[in-house]
Structure 1
Amino acid sequence: MAIQVGDKIPSVTLMQATAEGPKEITTDALFAGKTVVLFGVPGAFTPTCSAKHLPGFVVNVDALKAKGVDTIACVAVNDAFVMGAWAKDQGITDQVVMLADGSAKLAQALGLELDLTARGLGIRNQRFALVAKDGVVTHVGVEQPGGFEVSKAEAVLAAL
């Protein structure tokens, strides 16, 4: 079952793309004592993800922070090197934490995995965005296949 409002973010270790290279980060550390917007994309460098989803959160960083968001994080079922390259390609510095869920552990723990093996892409994230306060989900928007409405930055802003 997919994560819902009131649920606690599952405890998973991810890799964070940093200027110094990949580093481990747990969801416990990422969410503890903070308001976090986490948005998941099917893959780095994919069309909607690169043209709309990630850029929308970058453009709205200040507005999200003004509404009390401490951290904005993007997660994809890619490795940390791909996430780092995507961040560089998109001009991301520290506005968005770029997280790699290479084995889809978080995607599966959230119940938001998407099986794209028939397209040669393996298990990925569904497109989603959630808000959590101190690790407890207060808002979640999961897109229908091919959709891009409930997980975009503007929808998250409207929910805050």
Structure 2
Amino acid sequence: MKKVCNFLRCISSTNIYSVRDFSRTVAAMVKVGDKLPSVDLFEDSPANKINSSELTSSKRVIIFGVPGAYTPGCSKTHLPGYVANADALKKEQGIDEIVCVSVNDPFVMSAWGKEHNATGKVRLLADPAAAFAKALDVTIDLPPLGGVRSKRYSMVVENCEVKELNVEPDGTGLSCSLAQNIGKK
């Protein structure tokens, strides 16, 4: 019985099956060719909803996700890389918009963007309940950061279709999802 309980805990912790309902599987991680899920995100305040499908309809958009605003890797490397390379990405790769999404409130995302001079270069959108991260199946449990967060990733979405996807292998590293790696596949 002990082995069965440990097995069930292992399966549950990998988010493959619900312990209560073995017939239900969790959504598979978004992949290239998938339609981007339609989820409301927030810009600057809870009153300003931005729907992910509407945002990417008839456009070529880079969306990158970070575990948290003001965290070291996000503040020192990830966001600054996209801010610094925004003009080149837009010109060389035909990108209409660059969007950063994090499981934070819209006020935090707005302040973080202003602090990094992102205005006009990178839009900072809040995913306060991790609804977008869950729909993409890119959540990660990081108790020191408050629990459920987003894995670090980047994607190119064209007319609501995922054209390129880069998810950090460990969920939080700084390699494949960086600005200089967009369009290199």
Please classify the TM superposition score into its range, dividing by the shorter chain length: over 0.9
1:62 maps to 87
The secondary structure found in structure 2 opposite 1:39 is strand
User: Runs of at least 4 residues of structure 1 off by over 6 A?
Assistant: none
Listed as ranges, the gaps of 5+ residues in structure 2 are 1-27
State the AA in 1 paired with 2:112: W
The secondary structure found in structure 1 opposite 2:58 is coil
1:155 maps to 181
**1:22 Cα deviation after fit:** 5.3
The answer to whether 1:74 aligns with 2:100 is yes
**CA distance in 1 between partners of 2:55 and 2:115 (Å):** 24
Listed as ranges, the gaps of 5+ residues in structure 1 are none
Under a length normalisation based on structure 2, what TM-score does the superposition of the two structures give? 0.81
Name which one, 1 or 2, has greater alpha-carbon Rg.
Answer: 2
Q: Percent identity?
A: 43
Under a length normalisation based on structure 1, what TM-score does the superposition of the two structures give? 0.93
**1:120 Cα deviation after fit:** 5.0
The answer to whether 1:26 aligns with 2:51 is yes
**CA distance in 1 between partners of 2:94 and 2:120 (Å):** 17
User: Relative contact order (alpha carbons < 8 A, sep ≥ 6): 1 or 2 greater?
Assistant: 1
Q: Name the Cα RMSD after superposition.
A: 1.4
**CA distance in 1 between partners of 2:183 and 2:83 (Å):** 13
The answer to whether 1:10 aligns with 2:32 is no
Q: Deviations over 1:24-53 (max 9, x none)?
A: 110121100000000000000000000000
Match of 2:152 among 115, 118, 127: 127
**CA distance in 1 between partners of 2:158 and 2:145 (Å):** 36
The secondary structure found in structure 2 opposite 1:144 is coil
**1:8 Cα deviation after fit:** 0.5
Q: Deviations over 1:37-71 (max 9, x none)?
A: 00000000000000000000011111111110001
